Amino acid sequence: MLTDAKISLKGNKAELEKNGEKIVATILEPKDAAFEVISAEQAPPEMNNPGFSQLIVQRTENGLSSEIVISLGEQLHQGQRGR
């Protein structure tokens, strides 16, 4: 995911915050996968992407293929309901 939001990593979760709004990405499968944040800046002739990061999934399991399942949802404050 390419984003200019502030990213905080917490285990299998990543919180993305921008303009006071938050969403949470949670890795559901595989269980041993983790999020990582890397720079999105590119060398010419690609678009430079200043201020952007990439949220990526790192997995430790071996094999040629794997199913990756991620849940995205807004972070609610106590007492709030989703939209």
Q: What is the pLDDT of residues 18-62, one digit of tens each?
A: 999 999 999 999 988 999 999 998 888 988 888 999 999 998 777
pLDDT tens digits, 67-81: 899 999 987 655 555
Secondary structure of 26-51 as H, E, C letters = EEEECCCCEEEEEECCCCCCCCCCCC
> Considering the entire predicted model, what is its pTM?
0.78
Residue 11 lies in a domain: yes
Look up the domain containing 40 and give its range. Answer: 2-74
pLDDT over 80 (residue 66): no
Number of domains present in the structure of the chain: 1
Residue 13 lies in a domain: yes
Q: CA nearest 36: which of 15, 16, 9?
A: 9
Cis peptide before 30 (omega within 30 of 0): yes
